[in-house]
Amino acid sequence: MERMESMEPISALYTTDYPEIHPGGSRRSAGSQLGSPVAPSYNEDMMHKTILVGDSGVGKTSLLVQFDQGKFIPGSFSATVGIGFTNKEVTVDNMKVKLQVCIFTVTHAYYRDAQALLLLYDITSKTSFDNIRAWLTEIHEYAQSDIVIMLLGNKADMAGERAIKRDEGEKLAREYCVPFMETSAKTGVNVELAFILVAKELKHRAVRRPDQLSFQIHQYVEAEEQKTSCCF
Ligand SMILES: Nc1nc2c(ncn2[C@@H]2O[C@H](COP(=O)(O)OP(=O)(O)O)[C@@H](O)[C@H]2O)c(=O)[nH]1
Ligand SMILES: [Mg+2]
């Protein structure tokens, strides 16, 4: 089983409120230019920029904190200003994949640099789900065409207040050909897995020869996801 480990003691960068940090810090190194007929070996120094996107209140900051620290800090975080980010290393097939996970409020300019994107809605909020289409339209307009996208229905622990059935999330994801999982930033269910699968896909794309098929992230989701529909 793969496991994620902390790369550096980043908690020093934050107060418990996770104030957002201004851009201009570390940037990814020249990334995944493909085109060579020979499969390149994976460069473990490569930093993959991954962004969290979705309506306010869906749990982006909570998901980031859960991924970063393995815990849930209840209560509302102050409105996101600028960005919040964490650098984490995930182990995939015995290799280190570095993710820089960021949240932006003003996203347009930052889509361009992103190699992966986790798009969140809140399963208790129909509005946040309905807005996913608008987010996807924006993503397709501004992001790189080969960006790795994953749709997450967050707050899966709140079964009693569910407004969006799991099936509806799956259907929407199928329509846009993106993998889907339900997560809970509160219990941690599927949070680490979502990032591991994204890292796996990023690593695969970085070493893939142009003639090879893309790694099928969907299959891994189906095989490994902890189903949340009946457990809470
Ligand atoms: N029950 C539950 N509450 C959550 C979850 N994720 C976030 N929240 C709560 O939802 C609210 C908004 O979360 P936040 O992370 O600030 O959302 P953001 O605006 O997308 O960054 C806060 O009160 C969180 O404690 C979750 O998975 N389960
Ligand atoms: Mg936030």
User: What per-residue confidence (pLDDT) applies to 170?
Assistant: 97
Each residue's pLDDT tens digit, 103-121:
977 667 788 899 999 999 9
- Tell me the CA–centroid distance for residue 88 and ligand 2, in Å: 18
For residues 176 and 22, which has the higher predicted lDDT (pLDDT)? Answer: 176
User: What per-residue confidence (pLDDT) applies to 208?
Assistant: 75
Q: Using H for helix, E for strand and C for coil, what is the string for 156-188?
A: CCCHHHCCCCHHHHHHHHHHCCCCEEECCCCCC
| Alpha carbon distance 196, 203 (integer Å) | 10
> Global pTM?
0.79
- Tell me the CA–centroid distance for residue 49 and ligand 1, in Å: 22
Each residue's pLDDT tens digit, 156-215:
999 999 999 999 999 999 999 999 999 999 999 999 999 999 999 999 888 876 666 555
- Report DSSP letters for 118-146, one per residue: EEEEETT-HHHHHTHHHHHHHHHHHS-TT
For residue 185, which ligand has an atom nearest its CA?
A: 1
- The minimum-distance atom of ligand 1 relative to the CA of 58 is 20
- The minimum-distance atom of ligand 1 relative to the CA of 79 is 19
User: What per-residue confidence (pLDDT) applies to 28?
Assistant: 39
CA atoms within 13 A on the CB side of 74: 1
- Tell me the CA–centroid distance for residue 185 and ligand 1, in Å: 7
Contacts of 1 (CB under 8 A, 6+ apart): none
* Ligand 1 pocket at CB < 6 A: 56-62, 74-77, 80, 154-155, 157-158, 184-186
- Tell me the CA–centroid distance for residue 57 and ligand 2, in Å: 7
**Identity of residue 69:** Q
- The minimum-distance atom of ligand 1 relative to the CA of 185 is 27
User: What per-residue confidence (pLDDT) applies to 39?
Assistant: 61
How confident is residue 84, by pLDDT bands cut at 50, 70 and 90?
confident
In the chain, what are the domains?
A: 47-208+215-229 (3.40.50.300)
| Alpha carbon distance 220, 121 (integer Å) | 21
pLDDT at 13 over 60: no
- Report DSSP letters for the chain, one per residue: ---EE-SS-GGGG--TT---B-S-S--PPS------SSPPPP-TTPEEEEEEE-STTSSHHHHHHHHHHS----SPPPPP-SEEEEEEEEEETTEEEEEEEEEESS-HHHHTT-SEEEEEEETT-HHHHHTHHHHHHHHHHHS-TT-EEEEEEE-TT-GGG--S-HHHHHHHHHHTT--EEE--TTT-TTHHHHHHHHHHHHHHHHH--TTSPPP-HHHHHHHH----TT--
Q: What percent of the chain has pLDDT over 70?
A: 69
User: What per-residue confidence (pLDDT) applies to 160?
Assistant: 97
**Residue 89 CB: number of other CB atoms within 10 A?**
17
Each residue's pLDDT tens digit, 41-75:
899 999 999 999 999 999 999 999 999 989 998 87
Nearest CA to ligand 1 atom 7: 59
For residues 230 and 121, which has the higher predicted lDDT (pLDDT)? Answer: 121
- The minimum-distance atom of ligand 1 relative to the CA of 72 is 25
pLDDT at 35 over 80: no
User: What per-residue confidence (pLDDT) applies to 216?
Assistant: 58
Each residue's pLDDT tens digit, 139-149:
999 999 999 99
| Alpha carbon distance 101, 49 (integer Å) | 6
Which range (38-42, 60-64, 220-224) has the least confidence? 220-224
User: What per-residue confidence (pLDDT) applies to 215?
Assistant: 55
- Tell me the CA–centroid distance for residue 226 and ligand 2, in Å: 25
- The minimum-distance atom of ligand 1 relative to the CA of 156 is 27
Nearest CA to ligand 1 atom 13: 59
- Tell me the CA–centroid distance for residue 34 and ligand 2, in Å: 34
For residue 120, which ligand has an atom nearest its CA?
A: 1
How confident is residue 9, by pLDDT bands cut at 50, 70 and 90?
very low
